[in-house]
Amino acid sequence: AGSHLHQVHGALQMVDVAGVERVGETAEQVIDRFKDGALELTPERAATVGEAYRALVEYLEELLDGAAPQPVRLFPYYRALQELLGVERVHPGQMLELDLAPALLPGGGAGPVPDYAAARAAFEKALLPFLRGADVDAQRAQAGAMRDALAPVVHGQPQAEAHAFWLALQAVADLVALGQVAPDLYVKQLFGQINLQLRRMAQGHTNLPEALLRDALFFLSAATEPTPDARLLRDAYHVAGQVPADYLERRYGRVDPEALKDARAALIETKQGWDRVASEGGDPLEGGFNDALSRLAGASEKLGAPA
């Protein structure tokens, strides 16, 4: 199985189907853990791997039918694989297809060199009640304070890439403050990571992690009514339209493949019986037509599809 799935993963990389490589990579890691005994092989865990590949096949079928690429739809299956590996922090932003060398970035800021320590102090002052609170209006106000705390950092970045990085982080806080993005677990994780990034900058580190930018762009893509800054960054990194509203729902694998197989077989038999009755006449109750129709009705009920 591992050998065959490795070939699948390689083929998808060759044809550059964006976003799906993460599912393949993670599934291969799980299979390797099964093989070396680091992860006990159980029917439930094997089913998780199977569900991921069924989702992958159905996603590819959607692409072949002309659907827009939205690899974030695979996130529930990717997260389940990561949880088997013991990964605690899995963010849907990891599924985005990004242009990491955008040509449409806004120019750098013209402000003074940022005081990262002061910015972090102001950011953290609003972050702590935001993480602990449950009142939506209060959380929006605290998100607005975090947005304001990031303003001097954004304006003090002369380089376009660094300016865009901090602008994306600030834009997420702005969207939360405006009620465009819900303050869920993933938002809270992002704000915690922003706080750590401010601390690293205050300590003299200059690295700007791609994962943090990716997570921020996820929320910019998800916004239903993006702000001008969010729209500008969405266009620059080509992430507009990549995040459907129901990305946390398990879209694929809802139909039992055995039920679908039975329904198809019953449909063929029923059609043949109908054609025979229509062309030859005679009693429809003879020749098994009614039995085939009953089997088709029974199999169809198991599909869970709308009438």
CA distance 130 to 140: 8
Rounded Cα distance between 131 and 126, Å, is 9
The string of pLDDT tens digits covering residues 72-97 is: 999 999 999 999 999 988 888 888 88
Residue keyed to tokens 């490795």? 6
CA distance 193 to 144: 17
Distance CA 9, CA 32 (A): 14
Alpha-carbon span 93 to 11, nearest angstrom: 24
pLDDT in tens, the chain (307 residues): 888 888 888 888 888 787 788 898 899 999 999 999 999 999 999 999 999 999 999 999 899 989 888 999 999 999 999 999 999 888 888 888 877 666 667 777 777 889 999 999 999 999 999 999 888 899 999 999 999 999 999 999 988 889 999 999 999 999 999 998 888 889 999 999 999 999 999 999 989 999 899 999 999 998 888 899 999 999 888 888 888 888 888 888 877 778 888 888 889 988 988 888 888 876 766 667 888 888 888 888 888 766 6
Fill in the DSSP letter of residue 106: P
> According to the model, what pLDDT value does residue 117 have?
95
Q: Would you say the C-alpha torsion 93, 98, 102, 104 has a positive or negative sign?
A: negative
pTM above 0.85, yes or no: no
CA–CA dist 157, 150 (Å, integer): 11
Token duo for residue 81: 């694989």
| Helix 185-202 with 136-155: angle, nearest 10 deg | 30
Residue 175 CA to its chain's centroid (Å): 19
User: Cβ distance 96 to 269 under 8 Å?
Assistant: no
The continuous run of DSSP H or E covering 82 comes out as: helix 75-84
Phi first, then psi: what are they for 112, rounded to 5°? -70, 165
- The residues, any chain, with a CB within 8 Å of residue 212's CB and separated by 6 or more, are 165, 169, 190, 193, 194, 197
